[in-house]
Amino acid sequence: MLFPEDRVWARFFTPPMSAFFERYYEERGVSFARGEQIASMAGSDRVQGVITQSGRSLTADVVVAGIGVVPVTDLLNEGEVACDNGVIVNEYLETNVANVWAAGDVARYRDVVFDKHRRIEHWDNAVEQGKHAARAMLGERERFEHVPYFFSDVFELSYEFWGDTADADDVVYRGDVASGGFSAWWLRYGVLVAAFVMNRPDGERNIASAWIADHRQVDPARLRDADTLT
């Protein structure tokens, strides 16, 4: 696994979380190439390896690249619909042109929970926005209020994440990060802004989204207490 940062998923995971996942992957035969990026592929009829920007050569039968997507807006750029890293929509998923909506990966929408514009590349967002836009086309004009969410399955593990860690100033853990049964809760001035849950009681995953949407003020000490979840 190659990545440009000094630890895995540094833009999302805290250092203890990165340390757990790196150890977990290595125990299952995955090697890491930290601080590396692919410069080119090697092979003729099929890929046989990759060359990194540092000049390192690695043998490969298959290459999986997690590089995100570029929203296709060429059809609209010469028209009246405003675009900037996607189709710009308001909290109702409306574009600046009447009776034109956008949803999913291409939509750069106003997130009313975090009061910012964002574009999300995940099927959960596409499904929820698609349903919302369809209702809007049928005359139901309501704000799209949805806490950003994604999940992932890695080997025997499955985890879920809600919210936005960008402006957090504190992280509280429940459970044991080193063992893989833990949750992480990001706070900003004591308000819950994000949560990660893996191998924890259902009660934690059930309240994560609601607390973030409600801008719940949380006492870090009580949140850290494994016997308390109020």
Phi and psi angles of residue 212, each rounded to the nearest 5 degrees, phi first: -65, -45
Is residue 69 within 8 Å of residue 107, measured between CB atoms?
no
Q: And the tokens for 201?
A: 């009681």
**10-residue block means of pLDDT along the chain (230 residues)?**
94 94 97 94 92 94 89 84 96 96 97 97 96 97 96 95 96 94 97 97 94 96 78
- Can you give the C-alpha Rg of the chain in angstroms? 21
Which residues are within 8 A (CB) of 228 and not within 5 positions of it... i.e. 6 or more apart? 222
Instruction: Map out the domains of the chain with their CATH numbers.
Output: 2-59 (3.50.50.60), 74-137 (3.50.50.60), 149-224 (3.30.390.30)
| Angstrom distance (rounded) from CA 94 to CA 169 | 33
Give the per-residue pLDDT at 230: 57
Chain centroid, CA 76 distance in Å: 27
pLDDT for 68: 83
Res 12: pLDDT: 87
User: What is the pLDDT, as a whole number, of residue 75?
Assistant: 84
203 within 8 A of 179, measured Cβ to Cβ: no
Query: Are 47 and 64 in contact, with CB atoms under 8 Å apart?
Result: no
Q: Which pLDDT belongs to residue 67?
A: 85
pTM: 0.90
What is the helix (H) or strand (E) element at residue 153, kind and residue range? strand 149-154
Angstrom distance (rounded) from CA 26 to CA 47: 24
Beta strands in 62-104 (DSSP E): 87-88
User: Per residue in 27-70, pLDDT tens?
Assistant: 999 999 999 999 999 998 899 999 999 999 999 999 998 888 89
E strand or H helix at 212 = helix 202-213
One-letter amino acid identity for 170? D
| CA nearest to 208, candidates 12, 225, 216, 180 | 216
